[in-house]
Structure 1
Amino acid sequence: MMTRLLPALLLLSTATYAGNWPEWRGPSAQGHASASGLPDTWSETSNVAWKTGLPGRGHSTPVMWGEQIWLTTALETAATAEEAKRRLETNTGDQPLTVLGSVSLRAVCVDRSSGKILHDIELLNVKDPQWAHQLNSYASPSPVLEEGRLYAHFGSFGTVALDTRTLKVLWKNQELNVMHENGPGSTAVLHGDRLIAHFDGSDAQFIAAFDKNTGKLAWKTPRSGEMDPRPQQRKAYGTPLVATINGKPQVVSSAANNIYGYDPQTGAELWKVHYGELGFSMSTVPVVDEQQIYFSTAYGKSAMVALKYEGLKTPEVAWRNNKNAPKMCSPVLHGGLIFYVDDGGIVSCVDTKTGEACYRERIGGKYSASPILADGKLYFCSREGVVTIVNAAKEFKILAQNTMDGAIMASPIADGSALFVRTDKALYKIGK
């Protein structure tokens, strides 16, 4: 499917083999699925292999290893009205927020074949947790899987490693804290023996890595560069990408105001590029090809930006497209084109060399989930529960639209001939 692109990338996020979806953006870490033969149409009674109701509330994307599908969820206990009012007196923003008295953060395992819930395990129980935006959840960062082990990151609430065979918690780390303001959103990524995560709050901003075997802090690197004087404009919810850049592995990391490159083993900053304009609160992950890095600056002066890195110590801006840049949804590369959807349902197809749009078309709905590419098709999932399938080409064509029972905040995953979609009510296996 990606004869030109993927061999050149040598993406280094997580060791994988066919049949696994080990992290949020899949085996390539860029939203590409090797699935084929997926149905274009389905309903609650057609082309659904199974549907499993889920406990709690969470927006994390499911991950899969062999016959196990894992996801995280949160069982919430509301704070009293008096306590919520007292705690919100320190909030500097103006967003609709959820305040809890406590939250049980859990890992749920579903059998891939039958849809049966096999395990529901409490990983952390947090009293008086930070508030979260009402559009967010307390289990939004997606877990990471490797052979026999799951890593669940919940931002400032903590990070946990679970043995997926014995179901024993191997370690917990709750020593790193920032004020997220809108709740945790950044997903951690695995590279070698390092589990790497962003901590970009309103009060402090840094990137850190845990030793995956012990949970101890391996390194912590403060974000360099001048920050906006307003606390709300310093926060970010982006996810790092580990990729081969000029022959060496680098952590490509977008934060507020700047995008950075780091050494994944030591955390040493290798380069930094300022956005040129205000950018913050992104919930996306960059994508890369053999010459350039592509990312969204999200809120502020929203733009999709391409950085040329080939042969350069510090990447340089190749182009900037200021129209309909996504704030929450990560882009997808395919065949010299980059596809993305903004929060309001406008899909853009842009030439990766020039930054010129091949089209901008409205598909309807509002979007938080990132699209995936499978079998030459793009799958866009809206908060209203509509999955729109679009041809991955310069010519815009909607192939199908399918309405599901529930809102979709998590990104879909696909493998073999099945598509897996998490709504706010259930997990679906969709297949012929």
Structure 2
Amino acid sequence: MMSTRVPPSHIRSASQAVVTLAFAASWSLLALQAQGQAADLTSADSWREFRGNSANGLALLAQLPTHWSEEDNCVWKTAIHGRGWSSPVASDGEVWLTTASEDGSQLSVLCIDFATGAIKHDRLLYDNNTPQPDHHATNTYASPTPILDEQHVYVHFGSYGTACLDRNTVETIWERRDLPCNHFRGPGSSPILYENKLIFHMDGFDFQYAIALDRHTGQTIWKVDRDIDYGTDNGDFYKAYSTPIIIQVGGVDQLISPASKTLLALNPDTGEEFWRVRYDEHSTTVRPLFDGERIYFSSGFSKAQMLCVRVDGQGDVTDTHVQWSQRKGIGAKPSPVLVAGRLFDVTDDGILERLDLETGEIVWKERLGGKFSASLLATKTHLYAFDHDGKGYVYTLGDTPQLVSENTLPSGCNASPAVIGDSLIVRTTTHLYRFENR
């Protein structure tokens, strides 16, 4: 059901990236403007959603540390209870994230003071009497990343609940717990904000749809079921975990909405379809990238392919607008990064690589080892990659990147990092860290 002004069930109180254009090629500005993020070009003190304000993992002005440990360049370290892979988001001196108990019976939201690492708020939002049992070991009940505006934090736990909270009081402004979806392997898609809408995907075993809620009231503005031929009646191949992006094509905004077997471009005001591209893979996870003319995305399991698709089509563009596809060694879970005219990807089993933007050819690669889920991050000088075991790799940018450092923490990363000013915010499976050159 949907409700408004719901009092908090439990509250415990205890004490980016600016994108500069001087060094970037012209496509960088086009990409940011096309995603509707021009206003964020002047903001250096926030990372409000999954992969940052521009949705692409870039922190181009940041002077981030290239070496860190629990002793080196660590401003603070804060223990996070429970188990959750949601990425940290931050603004106005606050860092927000969600977590859950191991069995999914309790779902919580936390606010951490950016300056000190102290937990300002720790609220238990939901008690789940019957968590969905078929939960994959690599996922959690708190994997979707929250999103911030000036006054609110919007948290999303898939079918378990979506809520708008007041950032000052952590009081619930509205919540929705009536949106059906058997995630089967757990929720993963994060919400986005577009004008007056909170938009997210619900691609599960039984139901598959995209939905837009009024960000002020939680009322449904539109809901569109996936019209996709999955080629099977096995719902395990229907599910997906990707977070959409907004792009602009010819002055018209498009919602790029990856699902299992098909990526859809929708009208963000109505949910009406503009175009689609089909592929064979399911469980699509990565967030797409846009360079002003083309999108780049990984299709999912099994044996992901990277696709480069022109966005000026109508209808089914599979045979006409796919510029290239690369089927060898592509990551299914970590999102790639596009920086200084170079496309970097890391595979789930630890191969870092650079793909040619025009052909998709893998022109450089290096085996890191380990397992990877966290998305890549880039500044104007360095590339960052984090694995499950606590290793964080830093490489130079260039045609042939060079390893700068290999840094180790006691536990690893399934969440993607965030950047505030010159600080690197890293969530491991047990703690939240702030690293800065000291």
TM-score, normalised to structure 1, is 0.91
1:61 counterpart letter in structure 2: S
> How many correspondences in the alignment?
405
Aligned match for 1:172, one of 170, 175, 179:
175
1:95 matched to which residue of 2?
none
Unaligned runs of 5+ in 1: 77-99
Aligned-pair CA distance for 1:301: 4.3
Distance 1:144 1:228 in 2: 34
1:12 matched to which residue of 2?
36
Aligned-pair CA distance for 1:294: 0.6
Distance 2:37 2:415 in 1: 20
Correspondences of 1:195-234 after superposition (within 5 Å): 195-229=198-232, 230-234=234-238
2:214 counterpart letter in structure 1: D
RMSD: 1.5
Asked if the contact 1:13/1:190 (under 8 Å) is kept, the reply is: no
Unaligned runs of 5+ in 2: 1-19
1:298 aligns to 2:322 (yes or no): no
Aligned-pair CA distance for 1:6: 3.2
Asked if the contact 2:303/2:330 (under 8 Å) is kept, the reply is: no
Asked if the contact 1:13/1:242 (under 8 Å) is kept, the reply is: no
Aligned-pair CA distance for 1:202: 1.5
Change beyond 3 A, Cα 1:130–1:13:
farther
1:239 matched to which residue of 2?
243
Correspondences of 1:12-161 after superposition (within 5 Å): 12=36, 16=40, 17-76=43-102, 100=103, 103-131=105-133, 132-161=135-164
Change beyond 3 A, Cα 1:165–1:15:
farther
Distance 1:236 1:14 in 2: 29
Q: Structure 1 segments of 4 or more deviating over 6 A?
A: none
Aligned-pair CA distance for 1:35: 4.3
2:236 counterpart SS class: helix
Correspondences of 1:298-377 after superposition (within 5 Å): 298-309=300-311, 311-314=312-315, 315=317, 316-377=321-382
Asked if the contact 2:205/2:237 (under 8 Å) is kept, the reply is: yes
2:105 counterpart SS class: strand
Asked if the contact 1:391/1:399 (under 8 Å) is kept, the reply is: yes
Distance 2:91 2:74 in 1: 21
Distance 1:21 1:296 in 2: 23
Aligned-pair CA distance for 1:399: 1.0
Larger proportion of strand: 1
1:110 counterpart letter in structure 2: I
1:5 counterpart SS class: helix
Asked if the contact 1:33/1:374 (under 8 Å) is kept, the reply is: yes
Distance 1:141 1:368 in 2: 13
1:264 counterpart SS class: coil
Superimposed CA distance per residue, residues 145-200 of structure 1 (whole angstroms, 9 cap, x where no aligned partner): 01010000111111010010232110110111111111101111111111111111
2:256 matched to which residue of 1?
252
1:342 counterpart letter in structure 2: T
Superimposed CA distance per residue, residues 248-295 of structure 1 (whole angstroms, 9 cap, x where no aligned partner): 1111011111100001111111111112xx211122111011110111
Aligned match for 1:288, one of 287, 290, 311:
290
2:399 matched to which residue of 1?
394
Distance 1:103 1:45 in 2: 35
Aligned-pair CA distance for 1:351: 1.4
Aligned-pair CA distance for 1:37: 2.3
1:61 counterpart SS class: coil
Asked if the contact 1:35/1:415 (under 8 Å) is kept, the reply is: no
1:430 matched to which residue of 2?
435
Asked if the contact 2:390/2:410 (under 8 Å) is kept, the reply is: yes
Q: Which moved more, 1:266-275 or 1:6-15?
A: 6-15
Superimposed CA distance per residue, residues 99-152 of structure 1 (whole angstroms, 9 cap, x where no aligned partner): x3x522111000111111110012222211112211111110000001010000
1:185 counterpart letter in structure 2: G
Asked if the contact 2:90/2:420 (under 8 Å) is kept, the reply is: no
Aligned match for 2:408, one of 397, 403, 408:
403
Asked if the contact 2:339/2:380 (under 8 Å) is kept, the reply is: no
1:280 counterpart SS class: coil
Aligned-pair CA distance for 1:357: 1.7
Distance 2:181 2:39 in 1: 30
Asked if the contact 1:13/1:241 (under 8 Å) is kept, the reply is: no
Distance 1:36 1:165 in 2: 28
Matched-pair identity in %: 36
